[in-house]
Structure 1
Amino acid sequence: MESISTSCLMDIFNLLKACCSQSCNYIMTYEGTFSSLVSEVGQLKDKSSDVRRDIEAAKRDGLTPRSEVLGWLSSVQHMEDEAKSIEGKYNQKIKCLCSFPLNVCSIYPLRNRAEATLATIRELKQSAEFTKLADNQNLIHSIKMPIPKTIGMDKVFEELRRHAKDESLSVIGIHGMGGVGKTALLRRLNNDFLSETSEAEVDVVIFLELSIDYKMEELQRSLFNRLGLTWQDEVTHRDRAAKLYRVLSKLNFILLLDNLWEPLNYQVVGIPLPEPPSKCKIIFTTRTEDTCSYMGTEKMIKVECLEEEAAWNLFRNSARMDVIDTNVIILIMARALVKECGGLPAALIILAQAMAPKKDFGRVDACLDHHEGHTTPTSCKHNLRNLWQGEGIINNVQNLMDADNKTQFLLGILHAASLTVRVHDDYFTMHPMTRAMILWVERECGKKENKWLVLDRELVEEAPVAEKWQAAERISLGGNKISDLPKAPQCPDLIFLDLQFNKLLNTIPNGFFLHMPHLKILDLRETPIEELPVSIGNLVQLHFLELSRTRITSLPKEMAALVNLRYLTLSSTTSLRIIPDQLISSLRELQWLNMVDSYSGWREGHTLEGGATFEELESLKRLKVIGITVNTLAALQNLYFQLHAMSELEEVVIGNLQPILLPLQELRLSSLPKAKLVCRARFPNTLLALKIEDCRAIDRLIKLEGQGNSSRERVIRIFPHLHTMVIRRLPELKSLSDGEQTLNFPSLKTIAVEDCPKLTMLTLVADGLKEIMCERSWWDQLNWGDERTKSFQHLYKPMYIDGNFIPSM
């Protein structure tokens, strides 16, 4: 019995020992739990302070804290209070005796409470990563916009829609001419976001239509209103920009800007530029391609006019006229009208709406008459260059190339603004609706219809009455059937008069030019007039006079009063026989004189017979381009010896030669610093030698124009009997061919080259070439990697021996 009792006591002791040990351990580790609670509460307080600070900033921006954030802050406050309570009770129960409590049993529930609080605090810390702290309760996700019809534009819209949903693209530009449908596309996209995009993906879709001359404050106010922010007049635009930036930076936004005329500075407005990948987008419409580039566009979409059938469908859908289907004549007329609109949606819709109320043929016919337009003919860059110089739009140019460059620059601006359409290289056209808009604007929005009196190519038979001429600044009556003009119209403001291609205009009244004191441009080309009235001498401000292909037999001596004339064109005036003595030299401002295939009675020195002399040409110090016709070898020789004085001459043109000149065997250009050689139409077949010296502007041997200048022809056969070519002191010469076309000289035997440092390749075909005379230093620097140049590698011959030039001709 005694051993049993001892054994039982030991078991009970061990059991109590185990229980006490667990309790003691639990009690002894309470301090660690309490320390963790203090640490976690501190971290939670720091996080809640950050959240509260961000919320206060959001409130200043007019935003409202989200409910989940406010709930989180409330839970944090509750846990802070709970931890503080636990800390107080702990301090009451614990006595400082190795941190062991006097009341062991009471510590269990306090520790359990602390551990539960600690677990909750850790959960709050983990849930503190909010995607959004605050938002605008007044913020409307998107606003539905009315949409014009977009028939025929589904393909370009799907392209736009695809790019708009591509998160790798942030800025998209839509460009095209006015009225082509850019606004309709952007509004359709706005509504597409309304139906397709949830608020979880995009917070707000903002559509803003800008005025042409919008102000920064106007744009900022629109954004404030759309975002539901309070506008304060006393706040600076920089502070408003900062506020917009803070608000938009917190949103997934789509910003649609319609009718942007010039680049927008995002930073100045307060618009954050999205960085891909991003759901944020800036999408805008503009007429100019340059605006797209300056705006940092990652994708440009050009909107073109509609194809003919799509245009017809849009017209029918907009007009909804039963009479179209029941009246064949009206159907034909409507089809013609649609074609005249050139596929421009705005024009089609407007005209369709104008026709919609018409119920019978007469009314529809009248409507058609009111809106009838016409296709603008194709224009050439060179014609515009001359006209713009005549008007002073292009001014103070140093040479013809400078004028060409400025013309190209201005045309580039028009093209980038979608105001013109390039047809081919130097040719372009303008949409008839664009042309009509320009005329309307220039007529002060229709208030002064006669300010620009434009009736060109409308086949009218009578010129406008004299009263209509009085208010005109520009009159264009070309391409009509006009036979009579007003006797002496009063035109105090007229600066431009175009009468070209009136095939029935035989005479101009004597007093016609009496009252046009400011006229600068006069175009009479391809009219059958036989003489100019003496009143032309009144046009002292005239800059540009075009008389090509007229039947004029003589120039009146009164033309000597045209002291400001810069451009005189008399090409193909084959009837011209008389030019008064000293008339040409009186035109001291003349820069351009084109008399190719025209007057050929040039004389040397003063004679009893009178008439124009070569010496008069020498007095034209501003002359840059000259084209004249000679019909004797003696005259050609005389022309050659005065050419040396023409330091401003820019082109020497070889055109159709008179039969007597066809035996021409040698052509030499010398000491013409700005001149270039141009071959036009038929080349002289008998030319044996070509010498070009001291012509600093020549960059290619010959510029080809006209016949034989097809872009498809890579090799052009020229001067079939030429055997000698000398080119000396041509510092800008780069090629012996013309652009991508290679010149073939089938009989060429000798080439002499001296001081042509930029000529590094011999790009020509000359199968009979025997020698290339040149300096060794130039020969060694040629590009022998070029195949054509390499084929001449064995033809070197020194140009100088013992310092003496060795000609081979």
Structure 2
Amino acid sequence: MLQEISDHKSKGAFEKVAEDPPAASVVVRPVEQPVGLESTIQKVWNCIGETDVGIIGLWGMGGVGKTTFLTQLKNMFSTPPNDFKVVIWALVSQYYDVGKIQNRIGENIGFPRSWENKSVEQKARDIYGILSNKRFVVLLDDLWEKVDLNEFGIPEPSQENGSKLILTSRSFTVCNIMGAQKIIRVNCLDSEKAWELFQDKVGYEALNSHPDIPNLAKHVAERCCGLPLALITVGRAMACKTTLEEWNYAIEMMNRPLALSTIIYEVVFPLLKFSYDNLPNATMKYCFLYCCLYPKDYCIPKKRLVEYWFCEGLLNEFDRVSDAQMQSDDIISSLLNACLLENGGEIHGEECVKMHDMMHDMALWITSESEATENNFFVKAGARLCKEPNVVAWESVKRMSMMENKIEDLKGTPKCPNLRTLFLSQNELQVISDGFFQFMPRLTVLDLSRNLRLRALPKGISQLVCLECLDLSFTGISELPIGLKLLTKLKMLDLSYMHNLKKIPQHLVSSFSQLQIFRMWWSGWGGYPNEDNVLYGSNEKLMEELNGLQCLNILTIHKKARFV
């Protein structure tokens, strides 16, 4: 037989005795069961049937299931009837190689392996030559920036050719600049679907090894915050846990700040952190991390957040807060588009943003892992504290939050040479010792708001000579101490809804020569001391001092109506 083949070959010119077999139009890919994505998949499938929709963008945070979603769509094209002649899948990723993506496209089209040796330009011409004569679907996964379809050789989808491009990204902006006519967000799972997915990954044996384990498992599932990647990875890790001790230990570890399971740190956070690492500059990164000072699931008023950023010096392109608003709008829009922040709706007419719980945990993780002192954070927001934490822990901290606790007294004298932001709002503060602020020489932002039982400021607050932002709104303070005159760098003073405020000494407000933002709530009647007090009588004295402030940019004074 071999001799016959040799004789035939000697009589002819055979450059190739066989071609690589053509690829199937659709190769079914293994895929995680898309729990909770059914309605979104159907929505996209309906869009595919719309003649005026050529490009569809799917966006959502890392780990939310976009790749699973796209894989499921690809497999759906393997089921007749299917009018598309070619279905192409390609992973683009952050640092993509045009040639390798073309090779993947060529494999789907049916080009031989030897074709991959051609140049990028030649391959683009070949791909275009095939696809321009066929109705095709291209599925591009994980785009981080605008890609040029012509560079790959992919014709632009249109009504004329009836072809479709479906792409996934973590960024709404990327979907938009790719020209998507339909942009659909892939969200985290609701609690019911999250529990369904978690049960599937843990398995029947582990869940039924003890009658109390299902309830414990629900607590673990809740800690995954509806993020499919977390539910899958943690669920698989717990599949071999069959004792109450193991499940209770898992709950204990996941409830501790910065003590989440190893699988979260090793698998979930690195994936989410790609979005953070891809932010265009350090300012956006600092502004994002600043948001983790708030408690989980907290609706953060955008206006107040921007003012804190401004006073902290994070918005360094502008000197006036009204001008800095442009920069902050761009930052917040970028963080929303990158799924690092979410829309928090409106509260009392103010637009808010919020952090997904898993993003909040990731931000805390970043701040704890960073070697740079810039990111030294101490966050005990909503931690049910009844007293101030050990002051030794404060010494290297730059930004600290103890908001939304039950702390009544601050009696220590912490040494905080680097502290710039301190959130103490929404506690039950009654007393702050005179020495509490003594060793905070760089403190810039101080939020004491919503401490209704706080009746007086300590004398030591006058030592905060670098303070630029002081929020006293919703406190029970009755008088501003004249010692505040030493806070000459103050840019923002909020006295809103201070129902007990009866006295502001003369010449105090006028001493804040750098003040840009002033807010207060004022009734204008009853119980105001008449000596050395700009609140006594009409508002003429107060307005006179405010008129002398050359930098004042935002002024809000609410006067309460008198009811008889």
Q: Tell me the TM-score normalized by structure 1.
A: 0.53
Deviation, 1:406, is 6.0
Pick from 479, 493, 507 the counterpart of residue 432 of structure 2: 507
SS at match of 1:356: helix
Q: Map 1:212-231 onto structure 2 (within 5 A).
A: 214-215=95-96, 218-224=97-103, 227=106, 228=113
Amino acid of the structure 2 residue aligned with 1:421: N
Alignment match, 2:377:
452
Query: What are the superposed Cα offsets for residues 674-714 of structure 1, whole Å, 9 maximum, x if unpaired?
Result: xxxxxxxx8xx9xxxxxxxxxxxxxxxxxxxxxxxxxxxxx
Alpha-carbon distance change, 352 to 407 in structure 1, aligned in 2, over 3 angstroms: same
Alignment match, 1:423:
345
Alpha-carbon distance change, 404 to 287 in structure 1, aligned in 2, over 3 angstroms: same
Alpha-carbon distance change, 640 to 492 in structure 1, aligned in 2, over 3 angstroms: closer
Alignment match, 2:74:
190
Alignment match, 1:361:
244
Pick from 284, 289, 300 the counterpart of residue 379 of structure 1: 300
Query: What are the superposed Cα offsets for residues 322-344 of structure 1, whole Å, 9 maximum, x if unpaired?
Result: 46457565434443454454433
Alpha-carbon distance change, 340 to 494 in structure 1, aligned in 2, over 3 angstroms: same
Task: With a CA cutoff of 8 Å and minimum separation of 6, indicate the structure with the bigger relative contact order.
Answer: 2
Partners of 1:522 and 1:546 within 8 A in 2: yes
Partners of 1:490 and 1:516 within 8 A in 2: no
Query: What are the superposed Cα offsets for residues 726-783 of structure 1, whole Å, 9 maximum, x if unpaired?
Result: xxxxxxxxxxxxxxxxxxxxxxxxxxxxxxxxxxxxxxxxxxxxxxxxxxxxxxxxxx
Amino acid of the structure 2 residue aligned with 1:655: K
CA distance in 1, matches of 2:543, 2:468: 28
Query: What are the superposed Cα offsets for residues 775-809 of structure 1, whole Å, 9 maximum, x if unpaired?
Result: xxxxxxxxxxxxxxxxxxxxxxxxxxxxxxxxxxx
Kindly report the root-mean-square deviation, in angstroms, between the aligned alpha carbons of the 2 structures. 4.3
Alignment match, 1:655:
559
Deviation, 1:189, is 2.0
CA distance in 1, matches of 2:547, 2:409: 46
Q: Map 1:346-745 onto structure 2 (within 5 A).
A: 346-372=229-255, 375-394=296-315, 410-418=331-339, 419-424=341-346, 426-444=351-369, 451-483=376-408, 487-504=412-429, 506-508=431-433, 510-517=435-442, 519-527=443-451, 528-552=453-477, 554-574=479-499, 576=501, 579=504, 582-597=507-522, 611=532, 630-632=535-537, 635-639=538-542, 651=555, 653-657=557-561, 662=562
CA distance in 1, matches of 2:45, 2:150: 26
CA distance in 1, matches of 2:367, 2:396: 13
CA distance in 1, matches of 2:79, 2:504: 78
Query: What are the superposed Cα offsets for residues 267-298 of structure 1, whole Å, 9 maximum, x if unpaired?
Result: 34543323334464321112333322211113
Q: Map 1:746-757 onto structure 2 (within 5 A).
A: none
Pick from 240, 250, 255 the counterpart of residue 138 of structure 2: 255
Question: How many residues are aligned here?
Answer: 499
Deviation, 1:479, is 0.9
Amino acid of the structure 2 residue aligned with 1:223: Q
Amino acid of the structure 2 residue aligned with 1:381: K
Query: What are the superposed Cα offsets for residues 643-688 of structure 1, whole Å, 9 maximum, x if unpaired?
Result: 766785655644314xxxx5xxxxxxxxxxxxxxxxxxx8xx9xxx
CA distance in 1, matches of 2:389, 2:375: 10
Deviation, 1:305, is 2.9
Q: Could you tell me which runs of 5 or more consecutive residues in structure 1 were left unpaired when the two chains were aligned.
A: 1-63, 68-134, 614-629, 663-681, 686-809
Alpha-carbon distance change, 477 to 642 in structure 1, aligned in 2, over 3 angstroms: closer
Alpha-carbon distance change, 281 to 562 in structure 1, aligned in 2, over 3 angstroms: same
Pick from 273, 297, 304 the counterpart of residue 187 of structure 2: 304
CA distance in 1, matches of 2:359, 2:296: 11
CA distance in 1, matches of 2:124, 2:507: 70
SS at match of 1:282: strand
CA distance in 2, matches of 1:462, 1:146: 53
From the CA coordinates, give the structure whose radius of gyration is larger: 1
Q: Map 1:127-146 onto structure 2 (within 5 A).
A: 137=21, 141=25, 144-146=28-30
Amino acid of the structure 1 residue aligned with 2:484: M
CA distance in 1, matches of 2:61, 2:385: 30
SS at match of 1:259: strand
Deviation, 1:361, is 2.1
Q: Tell me the TM-score normalized by structure 2.
A: 0.73
Deviation, 1:151, is 1.3
Pick from 177, 192, 198 the counterpart of residue 315 of structure 1: 198
CA distance in 2, matches of 1:649, 1:367: 52
Q: Could you tell me which runs of 5 or more consecutive residues in structure 2 were left unpaired when the two chains were aligned.
A: 1-14, 107-112, 258-294
Q: Map 1:150-189 onto structure 2 (within 5 A).
A: 150-164=34-48, 169-189=53-73
Partners of 1:205 and 1:255 within 8 A in 2: yes
CA distance in 1, matches of 2:64, 2:389: 34
Query: What are the superposed Cα offsets for residues 158-212 of structure 1, whole Å, 9 maximum, x if unpaired?
Result: 33344446676432211233332212101222333356588x953452231513x
Deviation, 1:412, is 3.8
Partners of 1:487 and 1:509 within 8 A in 2: no
Amino acid of the structure 2 residue aligned with 1:309: E
SS at match of 1:596: strand
Alpha-carbon distance change, 489 to 367 in structure 1, aligned in 2, over 3 angstroms: same
CA distance in 2, matches of 1:488, 1:244: 71
Partners of 2:202 and 2:236 within 8 A in 1: yes
Partners of 1:172 and 1:284 within 8 A in 2: yes
Query: What are the superposed Cα offsets for residues 474-493 of structure 1, whole Å, 9 maximum, x if unpaired?
Result: 22111112345584444344
Deviation, 1:590, is 0.8
Partners of 2:516 and 2:554 within 8 A in 1: no
Query: What are the superposed Cα offsets for residues 383-407 of structure 1, whole Å, 9 maximum, x if unpaired?
Result: 2233233234456779887666665
Alpha-carbon distance change, 158 to 392 in structure 1, aligned in 2, over 3 angstroms: same
CA distance in 2, matches of 1:230, 1:644: 77
